Chain A
């Protein structure tokens, strides 16, 4: 069994020591710090990127909230303005209507008064004409002048019974 050749032990041990110690120095001084540094750098970079992504997301959310608030405010303002305008217009039209109605009523009353005056005049004319006609008729039929007082009474009676 070659493994038990004691004469071969020394060279194997010496070269194992040489290679292993050199490998250890290379690993601990160069390779491992370098790999560790790369991994650490990447970890920090990823963490930083995640942080900034988080921050940007939060900012976007804030902007969205602000936008929604502004939108709601604008909508409320629009509602208020619309309601105000509607009220103003309603008040104005109500006022206009009432002045118009007053004017119309005044005109109506005036017209009625005029009608009454005209009718009274007409009635008086009718009375005079009726009295004249009656006197004329009595004179023509009887040949003598009629009693003016009696005629007035008769005409008044007739007119009052008519109206």
Chain B
């Protein structure tokens, strides 16, 4: 969220200069190159590893070993069960029983994005989901996966997805083109929505935090201070909401591919 090392630049200019985009900069912790491709371990990679490790440890350890599985769950276990039931409920409502085997991928997407967003709210943390390339890769996983599922399940009939029923024949060329464009824009809207929310939220927080410093807390800086506090709460909500929206949209796309338009 905020980074302390704007101090050098600020000192050099003899005033407060805060670059709200500085927090998004990728820094290479361990430079690495494999086969001519830059595979450096960056701050983004560090936080993705933290997210993956935290999620794995929490979701496996909280439930306990097979012997001591309590009938009445502990608090940590309850959180894991709630996350499970939450995604299972979304999938049940949107996709139905046939989507059961895609539950792990949707759950992993949700947990990964949720924790990336939430950990990004910690001071000095980096938010991997504030980078378009990361969100676009995640959206591509959904888009390509869903398309492959649809083609494997329906074969050529998959194109029915682009031909809505009940449309006059002379309108079909136009409608189909629009349907194809809207289908192709799914990964873009999915990735830009998440990336833009993270980017805007963090930038706004940084801008208001900068106001506090430049105004001085007593000389009016308390106003942006309280605003930043409120904004932090809102950003936590957005962090959850965007992970939820991503999961829900993935489920809707999956449902389209599995059932086409026939229900």
Query: Within 8 Å CB of B59, what residues of A?
Result: 26-27, 31-32, 35
Q: In chain A, residues 1-35, which have Cβ atoms closer than 8 Å to a Cβ of chain B?
A: 1-5, 7-17, 19-20, 22-24, 26-28, 30-32, 34-35
A19 touches B52 (CB 8 A): yes
Query: Within 8 Å CB of B80, what residues of A?
Result: 31, 35
Any chain B CB within 8 A of the CB of A42?
yes
A35-B56 in contact given A2-B21, A14-B37, A27-B111 (Cβ < 8 Å)? no
A107 → chain B, closest Cβ, in Å? 95
Query: Within 8 Å CB of B52, what residues of A?
Result: 19-20, 22-23, 26
Q: In chain B, residues 38-65, which have Cβ atoms closer than 8 Å to a Cβ of chain A?
A: 38-42, 44-45, 48-49, 51-52, 55-56, 59-60, 63
Report 21 cross-chain contacts, Cβ distance below 8 Å, ordered by A residue. A2-B21, A3-B195, A8-B131, A11-B26, A12-B134, A13-B137, A16-B128, A16-B134, A16-B137, A20-B141, A24-B104, A27-B56, A27-B108, A30-B60, A31-B63, A32-B59, A32-B84, A34-B60, A38-B77, A38-B81, A42-B71
Query: Within 8 Å CB of B141, what residues of A?
Result: 20
Query: Within 8 Å CB of A54, what residues of B?
Result: none
A21 → chain B, closest Cβ, in Å? 9
Query: Within 8 Å CB of A39, what residues of B?
Result: 81, 84-85
A37 → chain B, closest Cβ, in Å? 8
9 more CB-based (< 8 A) A-B contacts, given A11-B26, A11-B41, A23-B112 = A8-B42, A10-B39, A12-B45, A12-B128, A15-B39, A15-B42, A15-B44, A16-B48, A42-B71
Alpha-carbon gap, A156 to B54, bound state (A): 152
B81 touches A3 (CB 8 A): no
B68 → chain A, closest Cβ, in Å? 11
A12 touches B69 (CB 8 A): no
Alpha-carbon gap, A42 to B84, bound state (A): 14
Query: Within 8 Å CB of B133, what residues of A?
Result: 3, 8-9, 12-13
Any chain B CB within 8 A of the CB of A132?
no
A23 touches B55 (CB 8 A): yes
Alpha-carbon gap, A4 to B105, bound state (A): 28
A12 touches B26 (CB 8 A): yes
Chain B CB count within 10 A is highest, among A12, A20, A31, A38, for A31
A19 touches B41 (CB 8 A): no
A28 touches B69 (CB 8 A): no
Closest to A17 in B: B137
B56 touches A38 (CB 8 A): no
Contact of A10 among B38, B48, B77 (CB under 8 A): B38
Closest to A23 in B: B52
Any chain B CB within 8 A of the CB of A45?
yes
A3-B107 in contact given A23-B55, A26-B56, A34-B63 (Cβ < 8 Å)? no
B44 touches A28 (CB 8 A): no
Alpha-carbon gap, A17 to B48, bound state (A): 10
B31 → chain A, closest Cβ, in Å? 9
Closest to A26 in B: B56
A23-B108 in contact given A3-B199, A35-B59 (Cβ < 8 Å)? yes
A27 touches B104 (CB 8 A): yes
Alpha-carbon gap, A14 to B107, bound state (A): 21
Alpha-carbon gap, A7 to B33, bound state (A): 12
Any chain B CB within 8 A of the CB of A36?
yes
Alpha-carbon gap, A8 to B52, bound state (A): 21
Query: Within 8 Å CB of A27, what residues of B?
Result: 55-56, 59, 104, 107-108, 111
Query: Within 8 Å CB of B25, what residues of A?
Result: 2
Any chain A CB within 8 A of the CB of B130?
yes
Query: Within 8 Å CB of A24, what residues of B?
Result: 104-105, 108
Query: Within 8 Å CB of A32, what residues of B?
Result: 59, 84, 103-104, 107
